[in-house]
Amino acid sequence: TVGLSIINNWDDLDAALATAYRYSDSVLLEQFVPGRELTVTVLGDEVLPVVEIIPESGFYDYESKYQSGRTRYVTPAELPEDLTAEIQAATLRGFQAIGCSGYARIDFRLREDRQYFCLEVNTLPGMTPTSLVPKAAKARGIEFPELMERIIRMGMGD
């Protein structure tokens, strides 16, 4: 999310590209999907509760991620049960389809019409005690030391 810009007209493209190229020799352009930001963790064969990310700025950028108080996290996300189950099932299918093992976190955008879009599969997500995976685990009743132990055991093949 460093160097990220959201543009609403083509006149802003050159400035956005200039910003992005300050951070890398290659850039990625994507269509913006408006909606709620959700993330779902898979831990082994278990899908953890959906987390909703609500950044103060309206977009989950670097500052929103790493400056205290800039983002609110709702765990579990306040979604209808059927939609929660559908997103969790899609998460597990995606995890399995790309050959993940152990754990991963998959990010989604949820539009008002209930359509959701996979934004990214994080195969090595942040794992500090305040990161998103531990938040989801805690909502499932898994404290940070147990989470770390489970991840290590999976890595060792136990």
Per-residue pLDDT of the chain (158 residues; tens, 9 = 90+): 677 888 889 999 999 999 999 999 999 888 888 899 999 999 999 999 999 999 887 767 667 677 777 789 999 999 999 999 999 999 999 999 999 999 999 999 999 999 999 999 999 998 887 789 999 999 999 999 999 999 999 999 86
Indicate if 84 and 113 belong to the same structural domain.
Answer: yes
pLDDT at site 69: 78
CB 53 within 8 A of CB 137: no
Stated pTM of the model:
0.85
Q: Which residues contact 110 (CB under 8 A, 6 or more apart)?
A: 35, 36, 37, 38, 79, 83, 87, 116
pLDDT at site 1: 64
CATH of the domain at 133: 3.30.470.20
Indicate if 127 and 61 belong to the same structural domain.
Answer: yes
Indicate if 1 and 55 belong to the same structural domain.
Answer: no
Indicate if 92 and 121 belong to the same structural domain.
Answer: yes
Indicate if 127 and 85 belong to the same structural domain.
Answer: yes
Indicate if 71 and 119 belong to the same structural domain.
Answer: yes
Indicate if 10 and 65 belong to the same structural domain.
Answer: no
Maximum pairwise Cα distance, the chain: 55
CA of residue 104 relative to chain centroid, distance: 10
Angle at 105 between CA 46 and CA 82, to 5 degrees: 60
Indicate if 133 and 63 belong to the same structural domain.
Answer: yes
Q: Is 121 helix (H, G, I), strand (E, B) or coil?
A: strand
pLDDT at site 102: 93
pLDDT at site 68: 75
pLDDT at site 138: 96
Indicate if 88 and 28 belong to the same structural domain.
Answer: no
Domain count for the chain: 2
Indicate if 84 and 20 belong to the same structural domain.
Answer: no
Indicate if 65 and 96 belong to the same structural domain.
Answer: yes
pLDDT at site 98: 95
Q: Which residue's entry shows tokens 């050959």?
A: 99
Indicate if 41 and 52 belong to the same structural domain.
Answer: yes
Cα–Cα distance between 136 and 156 in angstroms, integer? 23
- What is the extent of the structural domain holding 142? 33-155
